Structure 1
């Protein structure tokens, strides 16, 4: 049964990495809330409007939606800081032989995608770059959650948390399929399903970050 026990000597020194992952998810949620609260005429809808509409100052109309985000710069700054924080957190992880390159590369795709979303707002003429960035962020975020879940033992985390991360990433990909087909095609609850793509991996990063911040002794107890 020794192979089921955590090797604490191999547990990454990841408290700073955990803080960065928590910050990444937190920055996103806070920026979204502030930008949405400032959009009052008409009120912003979390279920109807695209997320990236919050990054368009406007007023403008694109993709069949009216866009007017008075604090668009807050959302766009949040997009960039979120991606950079997650990438920083993954880079700071240690003790991941054979998997580090895949995790860092996937986090880089997420960071690059969220940066493109911020630099090329949804109503701009460069909407192709915006769309590319959104797909990179969607895919990179959920793939990263899955990869981190598969590396739970190397990270010194419980199998339960590993399975949770796998489930969250899978849920995000399922939501992405619905978003790109049913929701985008009909416009029904498009904001809801888009958040179904994003929120799972955001929650996963925050929970993972909190776990990485725990003392090594607590990690050992959790893994028994």
Structure 2
């Protein structure tokens, strides 16, 4: 009998496996939601002048200011909200990957390494806001390192999970979507870094949109993957077996 592409069951590793997948899925949903919600709240509080998702850098939301960098004035009344989001989102995603026991051996390390990069990147972004003063005193290099780790880690993680769609228990369609958002993110990252280097203190007017192209797609992809993983919590606990057959380990 042919099943739909959304019915691919994850590999069971014992009675606790469904609960582990449920926890992993929820954490993978929660991490991106933390980031996007913190970004939205901080942006809504920035009203004079209004914050622009298209024109302003994401990191500006974590700078209380007033400060100026790359020709952009920064004054974020709820900078602490954005920095809390930076700090927590990557750690939450890393916790979700750690809880995802369907991967083993090299496949597990291939997800843990980029997830750890994402988590470390988020912590650095939170602890070292990207203000003009940070660029002058040298701490800005930690912020830049955090951004790079986040860009690379998040997008590579999406690609790796997409390539291992069967092992994590999602559909081929979800796997392809994860790979696609990861590639989009890496291309956007390259464009963003190129514009930063070439434009200097006068970045293009859509620099914020390009930067979000390196971040938002993988966040949405990981959140959707997490929802799919948690939905399949019962897919492998009650398989249909012929009479007298035994489930293989």
| Residue 149 of structure 2: aligned partner | 136
| Residue 153 of structure 1: aligned partner | 166
- Post-superposition Cα deviations, 1:83-111, rounded to whole Å, max 9, x if no partner, equal 11100000000121221122112101100
In the TM superposition, structure 1's runs of 4+ consecutive aligned residues that sit over 2 Å from their partners are 4-13, 182-186, 215-220
Give SS of 1:46's match. Answer: coil
Q: Distance in 2 between matches of 1:7 and 1:94?
A: 14
* TM-score (normalizing by structure 1): 0.91
| Residue 191 of structure 2: aligned partner | 178
Is 1:116 aligned to 2:124, yes or no? Answer: yes
2:52 corresponds, among 45, 68, 84, to 45
Pick the structure with greater CA Rg.
Answer: 2
Counting only pairs closer than 5 Å after superposition, residues 14-33 of structure 1 correspond to structure 2 as: 14-33=21-40
Between 181-190 and 100-109, report the one with greater CA deviation: 181-190
- Post-superposition Cα deviations, 1:28-60, rounded to whole Å, max 9, x if no partner, equal 111000000000111111111110000000011
Structure 1 position 184, deviation (Å)? 5.5
Between 114-123 and 7-16, report the one with greater CA deviation: 7-16
Over 3 Å counting, the alpha-carbon distance change for 1:150 and 1:9 in structure 2 is closer
Over 3 Å counting, the alpha-carbon distance change for 1:157 and 1:195 in structure 2 is same
- Contact (CA 8 Å) 1:156, 1:219: kept in 2 or not? no
| Residue 199 of structure 1: aligned partner | 216
| Residue 83 of structure 1: aligned partner | 90
Is 1:35 aligned to 2:48, yes or no? Answer: no
Give SS of 1:213's match. Answer: helix
Give SS of 1:112's match. Answer: helix
2:112 corresponds, among 96, 101, 104, to 104
| Residue 65 of structure 1: aligned partner | 72
